[in-house]
């Protein structure tokens, strides 16, 4: 369902070629589990019983990509996408690109797709 919606926006929507310098990357890590118990072992041997488990928070590494665009009428738009990638790596990959394509639904400007296929190639 999501794939068909994206294809529809790409085929019928407006394409905005945005300069990669107009995009900002923000670190947005979240905690998945507080006080997560992780078994401690080194080379297959368990540590002492009192140090058997490490209590840590388990994180989901993610970033926010924020792209700003001003159209010919002076109207400002902001496009935001959450990406499951470290912010430093995402920043490097964005800076390597010259343009980023954003597809916007003609009927609803809040319905858009940011083409990030270059991140995974």
The pTM score is 0.72
Instruction: Please tell me the least confidently modeled range out of 37-41, 52-56, 63-67, 107-111.
Output: 37-41
Mean pLDDT of the residues in the chain = 82
pLDDT tens string 18-46: 999 999 999 987 766 666 555 555 544 45
Q: What angle do CA 81, 119, 25 make, to 5 degrees?
A: 45
In this model, does residue 47 exceed pLDDT 70?
no
Tokens of 49: 């019983």
**pLDDT, greater one: 77 or 34:** 77
How far out from the chain centre does Cα 60 lie? 12
């Amino acid at each position: 369902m999501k794939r068909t919606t994206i294809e529809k926006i790409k085929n019928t929507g407006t394409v905005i070629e945005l300069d990669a310098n107009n995009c900002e990357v923000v670190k947005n890590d979240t905690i998945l589990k507080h006080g997560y118990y992780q078994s401690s072992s080194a080379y297959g041997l368990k540590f002492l019983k009192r140090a058997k488990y490490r209590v840590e928070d388990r994180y989901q590494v993610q970033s926010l990509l924020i792209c700003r665009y001003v159209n010919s009428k002076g109207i400002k738009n902001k496009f935001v996408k959450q990406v499951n990638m470290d912010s430093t790596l995402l920043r490097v990959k964005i800076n390597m690109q010259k343009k980023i394509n954003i597809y916007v639904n003609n009927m609803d400007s809040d319905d858009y797709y940011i083409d990030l296929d270059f991140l995974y190639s």
